[in-house]
Amino acid sequence: MAKRDIVVIGASAGGVQALKELAAALPSDFNASIFVVLHVSPHSPSYLPEILNHSGSLKASHPKDGESIRPGHIYVAPPDHHLLVEYDQVIVKKGPKENRFRPSIDALFRSAAYSYGSRVIGVVLTGLLDDGTSGMWSVKRLGGVGIIQKPDDALYPNMPDSVLQHVDVDYQVPITELAPLLCQLINETVPDKHSNLDVDMDRMETEVNIAAQVNAFEMGILNLGDLTPLTCPECNGALVSIKEGKLIRYRCHTGHSYTASTLLADVTTTVEESFWKAVRSLEEAVILLEQSARQFAEGGNEAAAHQFSQKALETRERAAKTRNFIFQQEKISEDMAVNGLAAPQHTQ
């Protein structure tokens, strides 16, 4: 019999404080390996390992690709890289983004579930949107334990709320009770293997390999789901839909992955950008029309000057109406933010 010795943790907005509290409460003899994905900006360094080292007794670091897994160590995903686990090694790769993020919580959880099954404890903490929901489904599907930070205890409850809506989690706890629970769980024995449908294992293997930079198209990603009329906001590739319990996800043939909520947030952003481009084009037309009207007036062609001035006024009205559409669209985005569907903020 094995023990639960792989702990995977995902957090986003508000996650630094939650992770600091957890690190401070974990004992120095914690006999399991901890892997953390925190959504951070891809363009600046992350100081989370240093923060956690100053907060608790366990050593934290950004691992190198191929580094051996050690118990009692906290492995933190470096910026703009997926953190995966496989064959008792840490894998650090720049595979396609999932839910617009690299590192991705789902990618980490999925790789741990595929490699370690019932030995995995998945933990989703505070954050916006729903990264971590699909990953937690994989953890539970292959016999692991699912834990969320109690939503009313989370600074941003959307991520744990999403998991709660789509996955049958085992525990909901405030951050102050997480360390004692983990200490209890890692001392329990579990079956070495967990039997499940081969189709789930095959798809998970493919998706883990995609995150590890293997060519998604060559691996037949388009055969892993139902082809949809939707396109990827990142690369405009064709999207297939993948069903995981109550959750619907999407992957494009180049490898990018989205939940429905994240895809909707990106589509909303694209709509707003299109409106702004239309406003820019209309206002450029106004500039050109007004310049032409002045030139005709200076040349004594009053009829042409009047015609161009009228066209300029009509175009100004069209630009104003288009701006109003933008503000209506932004109101929709604000409503989505209230429900956890707006674009997440990068935190560090």
Tell me how crowded residue 23 is: count the other CB atoms within 10 A of its CB.
Answer: 22
d(CA 92, CA 108): 10
Let me know: does 76 contact 103? Beta carbons within 8 Å.
Answer: no
Instruction: Tell me the CA end-to-end span of the chain in Å, nearest whole number.
Output: 38
Do residues 188 and 269 lie in contact, with contact meaning Cβ atoms separated by under 8 Å? Answer: no
Give 206: exposed, middle or buried? Use CB within 10 Å, 0-12, 13-18, 19+. Answer: middle
Q: Which of 73, 111, 130, 131 is catalytic?
A: 131
Residue of 35, 20, 175, 169 whose CA lies nearest to 104 = 35
For residue 124, what are the contacts with CB-CB under 8 A and spacing of at least 6?
9, 10, 11, 105, 132, 133, 136, 147, 148, 149, 159, 160, 163
| Catalytic site includes residue 131 | yes
Q: What is the rounded CA–CA span in Å between residue 21 and residue 24?
A: 5
Which residue is associated with the tokens 């925190």? 38
**Separation CA 196–CA 29 (nearest Å):** 33
12 is catalytic: yes
Q: Is 39 a catalytic residue?
A: yes
**Tokens representing residue 137 in the block:** 């489904």
How far, in Å, CA of 329 to CA of 191, rounded? Answer: 51
Q: Say which DSSP state 127 is in.
A: -
At a CB cut-off of 8 Å and minimum separation 6, what does 166 contact?
A: 133, 137, 245, 246, 247
CA dihedral 223, 168, 88, 93 (to 10 degrees): 50
State the DSSP H helix or E strand holding residue 39, giving kind and residue range, or none if neither.
none
- Residues belonging to the active site: 12, 39, 131
